[in-house]
Amino acid sequence: MGIGVGSRNLFFDYAYTPGDEKLHFVEAGIRLGMSPSRKEKLLEEKSRQIEKDELYLEAVREFGTGRVAAADRKVSRYIENYAREERIIRLEEDIRNWLEKVRQEKMGRAREFEKEILTAYYREQIDKAFVLMDNLKLIAPQYEEALYLEHLLKARVLLEDGKYEQAEDELVEALKINPDSQDVRDLHRRLREVLRLER
């Protein structure tokens, strides 16, 4: 038979065992340390910090291996779930700077393609010009200034095929994108001359 009493930090236990030896057991003590709820809270905080650090390190690894889009998504998730801390802000800036550098390189390459397309156009290498146009759209789809060239090329083919109205439509679209293009205006002038001669 026994009895025990206690509180969060103190306890007292007594036990008696009847029989030949009639033993008495007494135990008293102080519980040191934290309360279970405090301990759980600290464990939860540590777990959250570990998750946070792992997400940050995953983003750094992704960026380091050239998987920039994946790194950018992880940075966004980090900011959404945690906060904009200095280390994540620096990584975000590194990603933005890298993306801007790549964008500038692509735009430079797109401008080169634009020149190559016009060179092929004037050399009457229209098939080559279309291939270059496809490459330009793959490398820099956001380079909208050069999209007038696609309409120019289509208009040229349509004009040569005698599809004057469709050629006119393509030239109008090209002028909407690049109203200052001398190339488009020259082809448009040529189309008007053909139409005038046809009448």
How high is the mean pLDDT of the chain? 87
Which range among 18-22, 51-55, 83-87 shows the weakest confidence by mean pLDDT? 18-22
Domain 104-198, classified CATH 1.25.40, yes or no: yes
The pLDDT value given to residue 93: 95
What average pLDDT does the segment 78-84 reach? 90
Q: pLDDT, tens digit, for every residue of 125-148?
A: 999 999 999 999 888 887 877 888
Closest alpha carbon to 159 in 107, 198, 113, 128: 198
pLDDT higher for 79 or 194? 79
Q: Answer yes or no: are the C-beta atoms of 13 and 20 closer than 8 Å.
A: no
- Look at residue 13 and tell me whether its pLDDT is greater than 70: yes
- Tell me which H or E stretch contains 11: strand 10-17
Per-domain boundaries in the chain: 1-32, 34-83, 104-198
The pLDDT value given to residue 125: 95
Q: Give 184's Cβ-side CA count (13 Å radius).
A: 23
